[in-house]
Structure 1
Amino acid sequence: MADFVLVAGAWLGSWAWDEVVPPLRAAGHGTHPLTLSGLAERRDVPAGQQTHVRDVVGEIERRDLRDVVLVGHSYSGIPVGQAAERIGDRLTRVVFVDAEVPVDGGSFASGWWQGRAVFEALIADNGGVWPPPAAAEFDGQGLTDEQVARLVEGVTPHPGATLTEPAVLDRPLGEVPATYIKCLLDGPEPNDTVAGLLASEHWRLVTMDTGHWPMFSQPTELARLLLEAAG
């Protein structure tokens, strides 16, 4: 049986996986949703990019997890991708759920669609945090009104340093066994960095006909795909 370690994206905590956890556990797997430092119930903990990497690695080592399927959604693909390299033979597979991926020396801000300077100014103008999205920003992502309300109620500001500090990779990410789940309502194609990684024999692409938050919009289907990734 695998041990799933589930890490949600910006503004979210372990609670985001509440509807994904039961089918994974029903299939007999260990399941460990994780809240990163500075978010949700840990919102008062200072955090930078490497703090989040240590959060993930530390959880795996503290619980002495083996056969780990490490799941990173959205922003959290960046720390999860780094952690995947650092846990050695504990890793079975990493699953990126409509996620960013780490680039050595790059940050989340580096890939911002309006440019790094614009994103860093946004963080500076908001007291060092990335403000949570308003309800309207979830439009067109396959979410019901109830699911949007749950998201809006649960999100917390995201610590800016985790988004602007660089990732550190010790070897090419394409060498790590990975599944990339692309959520089609959030764009039909992975970004260029992910597309390059998908050329690796160790990576495979899966698609979902939903938006960027499938743990809310299609939790049962997401759980099914995670079970398939576990092999």
Structure 2
Amino acid sequence: MADHTATKHIVLIHGAWQGSWSFDAWRPWLERAGWRTHAVDLPGNGWGPTAHDPANLSTYTDHVVATLDALDAPAVVLGHSGGGITASQVAEAAPDRVIGLVYLAGMMLASGQSFADLVRDVARADPDAPVAGISPYLDTDRVADTTRVRPEGALACFLQDCEPQAAQRAIAMLRAQPESGRRMMNHLTPERFGRVPRIYVECRNDASVTLPLQRAMQHASPGAHVLSLACGHVPQLVQTEALSQTLIPELDALHRVT
């Protein structure tokens, strides 16, 4: 029987070059709706006590599972952008601790599929599809095996619909991203990952994980309930009210049936 008195927890997983700060503007909206928010800083991403730890899907998954294990009830796990890969693997690792997955313009990849595979397949199917995203705007440090987003790229792909001052604050917070934390591939099973309910929040004006890529992931990994917003890549910063009005009722429904 569902325990409707259980605490409403949501774990928020950031994407590449970001940190837990990327959810700061949205967390008050969730908390006013009764959700306790837990925004993680993934290992090796430049923030928090694990800022310089190895960055890979195993360390990311272990870090989020440890966060879940410290809570008094199962949680919704939300992955923004590349954080979607980690969210999926967390559900595979600890399905009993996850009441639902949310992909916020997230990488909801099929098992054994990399994001590079997805981009290649979409480009082959439609050579005119916009799939380049942030790639042309990355500076690579081959010695450190990291990439960094140039400011003009962040404005063009992440923050094109953001208020200028807020955009500049966000750009100043971006960090170098270990490529080991982007070269990731899920290994998922129907028995574990497959039993966790999923919501996909597509961002129709996204210039990073573009709409053709989002739709291709929905097709390749069917079964998610799809919500749609007319915004760019970071609705948690740019469209906090619209995101809240669209998503929070769905989060509450997940909590009620747990």
Fold conserved (TM > 0.5)?
yes
Report percent identity of matched pairs: 24
Q: Does 1:221 align with 2:227?
A: no
In the TM superposition, what whole-angstrom CA distance separates every residue of 1:168-225 from its partner, at most 9, and x where no partner exists? 2133755430110000111444232322334x2xx21001111001111112222333
Cα separation, 2, equivalents of 1:13 and 1:4: 16
Q: Which amino acid aligns with 1:132?
A: V
Q: 1:88 aligns with which of 67, 88, 95?
A: 95
Aligned to 1:41: 47
Cα separation, 1, equivalents of 2:165 and 2:97: 38
Aligned to 2:80: 73
Return closer, same or farther for 1:182/1:80 CA change in 2, 3 Å cut-off. same
**What is the TM-score with the length of structure 1 in the denominator?**
0.85
Check whether the contact 1:107–1:163 (CA below 8 A) recurs between aligned residues.
no
Aligned to 2:62: 54
Check whether the contact 2:110–2:220 (CA below 8 A) recurs between aligned residues.
no
Q: Which amino acid aligns with 1:208?
A: L
Q: 1:19 aligns with which of 19, 25, 28?
A: 25
Aligned to 1:144: 163
Q: Does 1:98 align with 2:117?
A: no
- CA radius of gyration, larger in: 2
Unaligned runs of 5+ in 1: none
Q: Does 1:176 align with 2:196?
A: yes
Alignment of 1:122-161 (within 5 A): 125=142, 127-139=144-156, 141-161=160-180
Check whether the contact 2:45–2:55 (CA below 8 A) recurs between aligned residues.
no
CA-CA distance at 1:123 after TM superposition: 5.7
**What is the TM-score with the length of structure 2 in the denominator?**
0.77
Q: Which amino acid aligns with 1:207?
A: S
Cα separation, 2, equivalents of 1:112 and 1:229: 29
Q: Which amino acid aligns with 1:135?
A: E
Check whether the contact 1:66–1:91 (CA below 8 A) recurs between aligned residues.
no
Single out whichever of 140-149 and 26-35 deviates more from structure 2: 140-149
Q: Which amino acid aligns with 2:155?
A: F
Cα separation, 1, equivalents of 2:150 and 2:107: 18
Q: Does 1:107 align with 2:114?
A: yes
Q: 2:12 aligns with which of 2, 6, 28?
A: 6
Return closer, same or farther for 1:162/1:65 CA change in 2, 3 Å cut-off. farther
Cα separation, 2, equivalents of 1:204 and 1:4: 18
Cα separation, 2, equivalents of 1:54 and 1:109: 24
Q: Which amino acid aligns with 2:147?
A: W
Single out whichever of 40-49 and 14-23 deviates more from structure 2: 40-49
CA RMSD of aligned residues (A): 2.5
Return closer, same or farther for 1:196/1:112 CA change in 2, 3 Å cut-off. closer
Aligned to 1:30: 36
Cα separation, 1, equivalents of 2:110 and 2:59: 17
Unaligned runs of 5+ in 2: 1-6, 125-134, 254-258
Runs of 4+ off more than 6 Å: none
Single out whichever of 45-54 and 152-161 deviates more from structure 2: 45-54
Aligned to 1:164: 183
Q: 2:217 aligns with which of 186, 193, 196?
A: 193
Check whether the contact 2:85–2:185 (CA below 8 A) recurs between aligned residues.
no
Check whether the contact 1:52–1:79 (CA below 8 A) recurs between aligned residues.
yes
